[in-house]
A and B are shown apart, each in its own frame.
Chain A
Amino acid sequence: MRQGFPTGVRVMATSMGPLIEFRKVTKRFDNRTVLDAVDLEIHEGEVSTIIGKSGSGKSVLLKHIIGLLQPDQGTIRFEGKDIAAMTRIEWDAYTRQISYMFQNNALFDSMSIFENVALPLRQGTRLGKREIEQRVRKRLEQLELGDVMAKYPSEISGGMQKRVALARALVTDPKIVLFDEPTTGQDPIRKNAILGMIAEYHRKFEFTAVLISHEIPDVYFISNRILALYDGKIVFQGSPEDFESFDHPFRDEFVRSLEGLQEELTGLYSRRHFKVRYQTDLARKKPHEEYVAVLFSIEDMDAIIANLGHDAAQEIIRSLGTYINKHFGEVGGFSARQTINEIGTVLPFSDLEEAERILEDFIVDLKDQGFCNVYPCAEPGRCFEFKIMAGLSQGKPQVELESIMEFARFNQQEIARFQCELRRIAIDA
């Protein structure tokens, strides 16, 4: 069943109960209570994101799942069974399914990148040398690390180290993957590329992901479930959509400061501010006055990622956002990402005719300039054709924005196609 944001994240049918469950888990360090009777549920096949202030105990919570820490009180259950009561065989079977990606990567400095990623297979499995080599090479190439296999962690950039840690976490094909702030220290393109990778691998390999992240609102696009940790307690568990309307000091103290006015990658409004601006502007309009909404989308995002890579995909989104802001922002329009590959724009002061005129200018500009930065981001020699779609719709203030956007989605047509031979945009006649 789909829930929350239209993320394109496929959710497996949930089993009878939660996959992992915390019941009244308490953890203290000296006199400080970090986790205070925490109750939470992680469901199979979902991406669950834990958010909270720095030092609030998110990593501590995550480490309990894999047994690096033990609770002072309370129980942690896996498929209904208390992990503290597991036999050695049961514990081995449980931990065999889990991978952990550390915040600071925890790569072994004295081993090469290849050896780092191969280590869990060499030491934890009975696979042959050739099989291990094939698997490691495949993972490293999927994460665009094929050129640095022989290098050592200190010889590569922080971003690459993060991807090596991700490769090592995924090389054993785990059922549950724990990500401890996987995007820390990355630029906006890389952050979203990493989040996109997590979403892509989650869809492909159907593992359960538990993520710690500060990247609000970007994580909303890949998460099925948000868990908010505040003052040692889980104060919210639910969908990203429900979290948007969650009224609690946690939002005021933490979430609002992170959402900011503009989304880091695209420079457009965050979803929350988009909604606030929508309500504010349209409240001034009379009931019979109409406005226009435009929905842009990048077709076949999965194929773009597969052929050009995650960085190139994020660069396309970023560039599209810049163009949209440039043309539609001038006439009082405001925009926000609706899903991973869709940007919605509201033109509160324009009619349909004016909106069509602006869209034509937009297309001409897109034709002239193209996505110049995509190819530096993509791997050399790679080529892939993709389309940009756009649809217009008109609405009145009393109609739900989601309905207007859905209608715009229905009206979408191809407005541009990126053909790698020309390195430019060609208008679809």
Chain B
Amino acid sequence: MTEPRDAQTTSVTTPINALGRMALRVIDDLGAIAIFLLKSLFLIFRPKQIPLIVQQVYYIGARSATIVMLVGLFTGMVLGLQLYYTLVQFGSAGVLGSAVGLSLVRELGPVMTAIMITARAGSSMTTEIGIQRISEQIDALTTMRIDPVRFLVSPRLAASVISFPLLTAFFDLIGILGGFFTGVILLGLDAGTYFYRVRTSIEMQDITGGFAKAVVFAVIVSTICCFQGFFTHLRKDSYGAKAVGLSTTSAVVLSCVMILISDYVVTSFLL
């Protein structure tokens, strides 16, 4: 015979139940997103994907180049400014080039590039796919026997993997020039010293490490953003246009958080 529940038991079990439900939901979502990612990866290598991938490389990569280079320039400039005044206290202004170069190539380049592309292209992915979902365009693809994951998601994933490292390279390059502008042009450091330090301190493994991070961020951002848009219609907290808005917000926030978490994880493997 079951004993009647009392208020004390309920007050203890209710939060545990809620925690349990939340944990199950998180595990469920992680599983769903993993399957979504695997399916998208697999479908990259199907026929007729090249034109779609090229189109997405243009939207995600080429059209993000300006903002990435702009942010890279000012990131390099502010790094040059801050690090100069810090290093000069220790009589080490001469290593400015190393500090700026390594900071950009190892960390700031991949992370800032990923965050900027998330803000620009990632949000656009979620919104576009979300609107296609609520206006039945994705259902229309299914009725035309076109796999919506193959047609919408896989090209974006492939294009992100191509674009992120390239844009990271642009960011690093422009950022180093930004540091040059503040350190050398504005603050009077020797140009030769600056570039000598940049060249000698950055090793190939720093560059490949940065690109490896860029590839990881590409997969994370495109998967999260496409997933949020693709399953907008399953949201329980809202419907229609509002659901698309909330999905976009979730996609950007989650992507940025995951970029930073995965940055730590990858860095710990690389070092």
A contacts, CB < 8 Å to B: 63, 66-68, 92, 95-96, 98-100, 102, 104, 106-110, 119-120, 122-124, 172
Contact = CB atoms under 8 A, between A and B. Distances in A.
B140 A124 contact: no
B137 A123 contact: no
A106 B137 contact: yes
Contact of A119 (B128, B135, B136, B144): B144
B9 interface: no
Interface in B101-140: 128, 131-132, 135-137, 139-140
Nearest to A108: B137
B139 to A, nearest CB: 6
Contacts of B17: none
Contacts of A67: 142
A66 B143 contact: yes
Interface in B125-176: 128, 131-132, 135-137, 139-140, 142-146, 151
B5 interface: no
Interface string B42-68: 000000100000000000000000000
A68 B137 CA distance: 12
Given A104-B135, A123-B48, A68 B151 contact: no
Given A68-B142, A92-B145, A119-B146, A106 B136 contact: yes
A236 to B, nearest CB: 28
A27 to B, nearest CB: 16
B143 A68 contact: yes
Given A102-B140, A124-B144, 6 more contacts: A66-B142, A67-B142, A68-B139, A95-B145, A108-B132, A124-B145
A120 B139 contact: no
A104 B146 contact: no
B115 to A, nearest CB: 26
Interface of B (DSSP majority class)? helix
A66 B145 CA distance: 10
Contacts of A110: 128
Given A123-B48, A123-B151, A96 B145 contact: yes
B207 to A, nearest CB: 36
Contacts of A108: 132, 137, 140
B54 to A, nearest CB: 15
Given A106-B136, A106-B137, A100 B143 contact: yes
Contact of A123 (B128, B136, B143, B146): B146
Given A123-B48, A123-B151, A102 B144 contact: no
Nearest to A116: B140
B139 A123 contact: no
A415 B131 CA distance: 56
Nearest to B143: A100
Contacts of A172: 144
5 contacts: A66-B143, A95-B145, A102-B136, A107-B137, A124-B145
A101 to B, nearest CB: 9
B151 A104 contact: no
A99 B143 contact: yes
B49 to A, nearest CB: 11
Contacts of A99: 143-144
Nearest to A63: B139
B145 A102 contact: no
Nearest to B139: A68
A123 B48 CA distance: 7
A92 B146 CA distance: 11
